[in-house]
Amino acid sequence: MSGSVLRAATRGSPLARLQTGIVAELLGPDVTVEPIVVETTGDRRSEVPITQLGGRGVFVKEVQQAVLDGRADIAVHSAKDLPSTTAPGLVIAAVPEREDARDALVGLSLDRIPVGGRVATGSVRRRAQLAAARPDLTFAELRGNIDTRLARAATHHAIVVAVAALRRLGRAGQIAQVLDPDIVLPQVAQGALAVECREDDADTIALLAAIEDRPSRLAVDAERSFLAALGGGCDLPAGAYATAAADETVSLEAMVATLDGRIVLRESRTGDDPVALGTEVADHLLVGAGGAALLEDLVTRP
């Protein structure tokens, strides 16, 4: 498909536009990528906590619709923003090589935050795990693009931001501490990009196959399967991190917690089938470890 043109639906934030540029660069000089900027519910209502907007999906639905109705050929997403099940009519045609999946503190490192210090984050997953590590901490809401968030660092002891976002925007120098997954497990698919197209668009599917990274796909599939089996999204205190070995064996660690971080349940397993592995880990945490009782007011199963 030499000389192909792909219209790429994307959010208008600097990070989203940059990520679309990353996909364009990966596709190479024979493919012209034309950005189609779409405003999402999450962008329009940046003052409202994500949990109040309905959680996972508030940054992608309008972008996906642009592909479904033919205004765009592909959609470029931060994979962590996608619902755990793919929208009807679409397919995740490529997961390029994943960036660093971890979270980072900007401001003070965890051991330098004073007793009773305030950390800003809009994520219940991050709050629960940080509260487990430091029960004395207090928390403030944090929304907006990366520049807006970084500006808030001066008014708190620390803010929490994804390492991948800071690295992609050239802001890694502002990191005070990268949070090891032993302290804070990342959000499902954090650090990965997902490129969607229509499921009947064979030419575009073939074109995007060239930028697929197999280890990243296996890891993201395992994490998304965990979230799907859990029955929720980024409005849950849950996280997961998977890695794939050379033989395509996948290792997955996942957690569910109470909102206050007083109870954090973790499970680590390895398997050959990423989807089955994610489901198995979720079932163990919910049933075997009693996580369903912790999340009974938050988890809504189909």
CA–CA gap between residue 137 and residue 121 (Å, rounded): 12
Would you tell me how many other CB atoms lie within 10 Å of the CB of residue 99? 20
Q: Which of 30, 73, 81, 111 is catalytic?
A: 81
CA–CA gap between residue 34 and residue 21 (Å, rounded): 10
- 81 among known catalytic residues: yes
Identify whether the C-beta of residue 181 lies closer than 8 Å to the C-beta of residue 142. Answer: no
Best CA proximity match to 277, nearest among 240, 302, 246: 240
Active site residues: 81
